[in-house]
Amino acid sequence: MIKACVIGWPISHSRSPLIHGYWLRLHGIDGSYTRKPVEPAQLQDFIRSLPTQGLAGCNVTIPHKEAVHALVKPADATTERLGAVNTVFLRDAEVMGTNTDGEGYINNLRQAVPGFTMKDRRAMVLGAGGASLAVVNALLEQGAAEVVVANRTVERADDLRRRFGTRVVPLPWEHIEIHLPETALLVNTTSLGMSGQADLVLDLSRLSVDAVVSDIVYTPLRTHFLETAARRGNPVVEGLGMLLHQAVRGFSLWFGVVPQVTPELHDLVARDIDPGYQR
Ligand code: ATR
């Protein structure tokens, strides 16, 4: 029996067990994937004792992603650059960490808008927190000519430019609308639009109707921001797909099968978020 889990504090809302449980059943694997609340004071012990607990690894969520980075061996350059880990696994009994948020974002984008390319084009990312870091890095890796980062606290966008270089262009939040022309991809990585929070309300009239608009918020499944974009004809990409795609590599590292993000999996998790969901 191969065991994995997701750790966070709190952890009760994580939908990762639903995702990995679906794949375990689909592939007939003798494995388990559970939620484990781990408080910050116990984090180091938990990570160090993974092998002796009989765990193949774990996912890491809020607030532990940065702290876990310092406790494991980064498995690749992207993870080192991000300073945050969302997937922990064992290699030759050594505890390794990687970050699949960026590939989760990109692979969702690819699946939702086949043929879309970022190469030599301009993206605008709203927000400069942890989620933004992974998305900005992934867009740069995809060959974006420029990634404009708009943030309420513009100093955090300046930090991203220092970290990633001059293809990152910081923008004060008030200037978003005038910089929308030439944007091929507009992404919300802020918490605006999440259930219980204020909506992200922007005047999109200067945005090309061909621009792809995406949101990493997935509760609700379709945010007010995406609805506004869809109504004027823009292709939109919902945030749930990123959650599903970021789970792929962890599953394959722990359980040895590369799983697919199928419409059936999407609908299963969508119905957990919104019981009235219909395709
Ligand atoms: P995460 O790791 O999920 O990205 P975070 O690091 O707390 O979380 O970042 C949240 C992002 O949402 C930040 O870009 C934040 O802007 P600030 O850096 O100015 O705090 C943004 N955000 C949250 N509430 C916002 C609001 N009411 N208006 C604009 N941006 C907001």
**Looking at residues 194-208, what average pLDDT do you find?**
98
From the CA of 107, how far away is ligand 1's center (Å)? 24
Q: What is the pLDDT of residue 234?
A: 98
For the CA of 173, the closest atom of ligand 1 is: 29
Phi and psi, residue 140, nearest 5°: -65, -40
Share of the chain above pLDDT 70, in %: 100
In the predicted model, is pLDDT for residue 182 greater than 90? yes
**Looking at residues 79-105, what average pLDDT do you find?**
97
In the predicted model, is pLDDT for residue 270 greater than 90? yes
The finding on whether 192 has its CB within 6 A of some atom of ligand 1 is: yes
Distance CA 4, CA 50 (A): 10
Q: What is the pLDDT of residue 93?
A: 85
pLDDT in tens, 112-155: 999 999 999 999 999 999 999 999 999 999 999 999 999 999 99
The finding on whether 61 has its CB within 6 A of some atom of ligand 1 is: no
Q: What is the pLDDT of residue 214?
A: 98
Q: What is the pLDDT of residue 147?
A: 98
Distance CA 238, CA 154 (A): 26
Question: Hey, which residues are catalytic here?
Answer: 65
From the CA of 127, how far away is ligand 1's center (Å)? 6
In the predicted model, is pLDDT for residue 248 greater than 90? yes
**Looking at residues 49-61, what average pLDDT do you find?**
97
Task: Please state whether the predicted TM-score (pTM) of the whole model is above 0.85.
Answer: yes
In three-state secondary structure terms, 102 is helix
> What is the band of 17 on the pLDDT scale with cuts at 50, 70, 90?
very high
The finding on whether 3 has its CB within 6 A of some atom of ligand 1 is: no
Q: Residue 179 in contact with residue 115, Cβ under 8 Å?
A: no
Helix 154-164 / helix 130-141 crossing angle, nearest 10 deg: 40
> What is the band of 60 on the pLDDT scale with cuts at 50, 70, 90?
very high
State the SS3 of 190-240: CCCCCCCCCCCCCCCCCCCCCCEEEECCCCCCCCHHHHHHHHCCCCEECCH
The alpha carbon torsion through 122, 125, 126, 127 (nearest 10 deg) reads: -150
From the CA of 272, how far away is ligand 1's center (Å)? 26
Q: What is the pLDDT of residue 129?
A: 96
> What is the band of 157 on the pLDDT scale with cuts at 50, 70, 90?
very high
Neighbours of 255 (CB within 10 A): 21
